[in-house]
Amino acid sequence: MNVFDSHDFDHHEEVAFFDDKATGMRAIIAVHSTALGPACGGTRMYPYATTDAALTDVLRLSRGMSYKNAIADLPLGGGKAVLLGNPATDKSEARFAAFARTVNALGGRYITAMDVGVVPADMPVIARYTKHVAGYDQPGKAGGDSGPATALGVFAGLKSAVKHRFATDTTKGMRVAIQGLGKVGMGVAKRLHAEGAKLIVADTNMAAVKEAVETLGAIAATPDQIVTCDCDVLSPNALGAILNDQSIPRLHAKVVAGGANNQLARDHHGAMLRDANVLYAPDYVINGGGIIRVAAQIENWSDAEVERRVLAIADTLTAIFQRADRDGEATSVIADRMAEERIARGKTSAKAAE
């Protein structure tokens, strides 16, 4: 596939293909925008069936990072890397060293972090060969665990959505269905329980479900039941594409606010939620706590500054909800528009400084 002919090419500033014969390392790095700062986004290692599939993924993900970083008001642009290979069998220090050299080849225009297939143990290996890396525990820097910051942002954003939809400052007494009880989902569940919400939970990890039932008084549901169960708020914190043609007409929740990525199966599902009178907190806005934590390592922000920025996710969502009401648009459309406006302002400022 020609990059320029790809449906997912969005005037990316740079798309670089790398092949290291000696190690077998093959990678694609896509820099979507540096209007607001160096492009930042994780590296995904995955056994793609074809190079075209890898290209499609890196183009989509890098564009998404531009929007995510812009809407979080970070001094970062959007980029992403994909390593072609099976993370269970194809990892080696030599391959990570070769990958780090590809990052260096971009001269600081791209800063990498973790994504699917690249775990905390891999990051120090990559960091031996490049300084353009963040998002993991590093000596002398703020912690790299993004889970707590993401959970705090999701909780704050959920409360912002509840306030807009139900005109109340508390979730006390509300039925909140939580899909996924990993670091983020369990963190959100604990905060909601402390405020008095009634929890319904589901996860494929039954030990996590048992913990929520025993310590948080949650009601257990199956993964198939949770999305359309009887609740006031649905908080997806696991799978993507759960909001689709089949599920949206069956939703009982009046608010959807959770940390899972790519919750809308297709763009038009944002409008379907609006038409169904369901308030949707756009996923890349509400789950921005993780990239804020990454930015803190790059910018050397204090924990207090991280918390301030994470809590500001609620204000950003309120602005999105209000503008969506005013313009009669889906919240997903408004979030994209606001991100695009911030990126455009960054480009204008950069040109003025030349």
- Residue 30's beta-bridge partner residues? 15, 80
User: What span, in angstroms and rounded, lies between the C-alpha atoms of 182 and 77?
Assistant: 28
pLDDT of residue 205: 94
Provide the b/e sequence for 11-28 (b: ≥16 CB within 10 Å): ebbebeebebeebebbbb
Residues 116, 163: one domain?
no
Residues 179, 98: one domain?
no
Total number of domains in the chain = 2
Provide the b/e sequence for 63-83 (b: ≥16 CB within 10 Å): bbbbbbbbbbbbebbbbbbbb
Residues 180, 274: one domain?
yes
What domain range is 16 assigned to? Answer: 10-63+77-127
The CATH number given to whatever domain includes residue 86 is 3.40.50.10860
User: What span, in angstroms and rounded, lies between the C-alpha atoms of 310 and 261?
Assistant: 17
pLDDT of residue 354: 56
Supply the residues annotated as catalytic. 80
Domain membership of residue 153 (yes or no) is yes
Domain membership of residue 101 (yes or no) is yes
Q: What is the pLDDT along the chain (354 residues), one digit of tens a residue?
A: 689 989 899 999 999 999 999 999 999 999 999 999 999 999 999 999 999 999 999 999 999 999 999 999 999 999 999 999 999 999 999 999 999 999 999 999 999 999 989 999 999 999 999 999 998 887 767 666 788 999 999 999 999 999 999 999 999 999 999 999 999 999 999 999 999 999 999 999 999 999 999 999 999 999 989 999 999 999 999 988 999 999 999 999 999 999 998 999 999 999 999 999 999 999 999 999 999 999 999 999 999 999 999 999 999 999 999 999 999 999 999 999 999 999 999 877 655 555
User: What span, in angstroms and rounded, lies between the C-alpha atoms of 323 and 79?
Assistant: 28
The CATH number given to whatever domain includes residue 161 is 3.40.50.720
Residues 153, 278: one domain?
yes
Domain membership of residue 349 (yes or no) is no
pLDDT of residue 147: 85
pLDDT of residue 347: 73
| Token pair of 85 as six digits | 């290979």
Domain membership of residue 5 (yes or no) is no
Residues 123, 165: one domain?
no
Domain membership of residue 220 (yes or no) is yes
pLDDT of residue 350: 58
